[in-house]
Structure 1
Amino acid sequence: MKRARVAVGGAVHNAYEYNGKVKLVDGRIFAEDEVEWLPPVKPQTIFALGLNYADHAKELSFDAPKEPLTFLKGPNTIIGHNASTKRPEAVTFMHYECELAVIIGKTSKHVKKEDAYDVVKGYTVANDYAIRDYLENYYRPNLRVKNRDTCTPVGPWFVDRDDIDDPMNLSLRTIVNGQVTQEGTTKDMIFTIPDLIEYLSSFMTLNENDIILTGTPKGTTGVNVGDEVITEIEGMGSLRNYIISDQDFQKPFEGGA
């Protein structure tokens, strides 16, 4: 089942996909553009992977890592489907990154690879924007690269684990202004989902609604103000996002009382 969290009439609702529309648990049905989309789960710790696809590492002129290159992201980065991401005025290289997001389902420690999927709740689509102006080297994807407000759209749907036959064989793609700019498959990950869960849980506790962003394949290019960016993963739907300027993002609310 594809599930979501949306806001309607000032209240937050759990919902699910119904014949191409959004059906609230109270039975009301809305078109996609009639609701405000929230991140499909309330995230706890957010893990991100650098260079987890060899073709992407090569694209950036880096060697593939010998162990998972992981770092953390703050909740300030996360936004939902159809939301806007601000592009800092002074930067030159702002790139999208279509990524499979793995959502942990229960408190876990020292999980073996063969048991890893038992602790997975489900999956969603993520677009983990990077401000590469500040990338020093692949060992140091510092806060200014990956922890910008609004720079990690996720959604629209949360897809149950059992509804995805093989998460390590899914196609991914990014579409910018109607043009396909990135294509890949999760089978090209260097470190698989079980690898990552075993690695992370070997030295820290994983908790329900922790999110692991599993990296992106080659094909990342720059985005500019006014762009529509859609990231898609097979079986999980399309995550739409819009790029806006700092000035537009900071405009005061002018609505009536």
Structure 2
Amino acid sequence: MNAIATIDVRQLLSVEDAAYHCAHGTAGGVPALATRMGRSANTLQNKLNPSQDHHKLTLKEAAEITSLTGDARIVDAMASLIGRISVPVPQLGDLSDGALLDLVGKLLTKQGAMFNEFTSRYADGDIDAEDFRVLDAGADQLIQCVMEWKKRVELIHRAGEERGRVAMPDIADLAGERADALEEAVIADAHRVACEQAARRALECSCRFCAEPTTPGVPFCGIECRDDFDREQRASRRNGRGIE
């Protein structure tokens, strides 16, 4: 089964592996990061090596690496150990109506993608390990998006109160057609997927000749239909065409 493109599925890392990739993935790699931290590059390299037993990264150093790189993978790995996720908090300077509406659109898109992904992966009545990995990652991203939206609304409210008024300028009117269009697109897409799956199930449970209901997986309702279908197929081939 193929994952919906809007769901970003990444391998869950251990804290040690997260620190390694975080440091090596930054501009200039470990040497540049060590310079910014005021550390020896060799020492930092050893501390970041997951197989190194003698040198270990301290909690303070892990926090410093996270702050300097802006990479949340160490935080995410720590949070996952106790069944939690980290949520990015927007800055007060990014509270425009456009930014809030963009986030609403992102939320609706992810919600639709999550629904379609679940519908597709649960079509066989089972959730295997790969299905769960994809759905779990998608759910975390959806939760992060909801929490970011909640935080943005809270910050707008607080900023308005500091100015002596609640600054929520007709968000419903501004969202209007844009939010409705996104929601309609999500619903239409979900309906299309459901219809396609219903059609496939109906085809799998009906006779290929007379279309009467059959046991799932059985192509014909009886021997007569099977023989009639075969005869029609042979006749069609002789006439240069076949029956699907």
TM-score by length of 1: 0.18
Structure richer in strand, relative to its length: 1
Q: Which structure ranks higher in relative contact order (CA pairs < 8 Å, sequence separation ≥ 6)?
A: 1
TM-score by length of 2: 0.18
Structure richer in helix, relative to its length: 2
